[in-house]
Amino acid sequence: MKPHLIVLDLDGTLLTDEKIISAKTAHTLKIAEEQGHHVMIATGRPYRASEVYYRQLGLKTPIVNFNGAFVHHPGNASWKTIHETISLPVVNEVIDAMQQFPIQNIVAEVMDDVYMHYHDEKLLDIFGFGNPQILQGDIRQSLQMNPTSLLIQAEEQSVDTIRRHLADVHAEVIDHRRWGAPWHVIEIIRHGLHKAVGISHVAKWMDIPQERIIAFGDEDNDLEMIDYAGVGVAMGNAIDRLKSIANEVTDTNNEDGIAKVLRERLHLS
């Protein structure tokens, strides 16, 4: 069988609800690699929060971070990195506009530097993963460069209203996604970016055609990836919209849904 590119989202897909990779799924991925296939990660997380899983699987492929805003090869310094940022004036406009909504916090990330508008211990626990530099205070004062992403934490009932505002006012310069439960967070990246953009770049470099890409996901930041892949697979725990466009729906992230599909489709022994 010709080599396939296996693309894995992390949270809710490769990772169980306990944020681990099950032994069965890890073993299946290893078998797939031994039989000539390639495995890569495409996640909304920054690299510092995905590196542990990249290393655990022993990957030797590029990785898509920040939903496509940062595509790089951890093991190959000469590989042409892609890093697309949001214009700082646009960021400041968005933050100004957010003052009219009941938001809880705003966070900007510049690669591994984190800028947090308001002090929040729970968010510090999340964004502190990988030991980044964290600056707290008015982002409009502290942020001096274009960020990789901007996150808005809001009251649940305000998320859709904020997203409509972003779509009406800033649609030509930014794209935005909603995090999965229990976080009511809107993630903003530069317009035109998503996981499929990064994956297509990697697939071209690896000379693997679209029809030999198998991608797994569960949330709305996986929509373009699942649509783009030759075989787009929605996890059993995925949102309904993703299931509706997927080629296949597998078992949940807690039931080794990835392993099931790979063993069947790639005839892994």
Q: Residue 155's CB: how many other CB atoms inside 10 A?
A: 13
The Cα 128–Cα 109 span in angstroms is 12
- The active-site residue, picked from 9, 11, 222, 256, is 9
Q: Which residues, in sequence order, are CB contacts of 148 under 8 Å at separation 6+?
A: 46, 66, 69, 70, 83, 85, 86, 109, 110, 111, 189
Asked whether the beta carbons of 233 and 255 are under 8 A apart, the reply is no
Q: Which two tokens stand for residue 173?
A: 């310069």
Give yes or no for a contact between 120 and 176, defined as CB atoms under 8 angstroms apart: no
Active-site annotation holds for 251 = no
Q: Annotated catalytic sites, by residue? A: 9
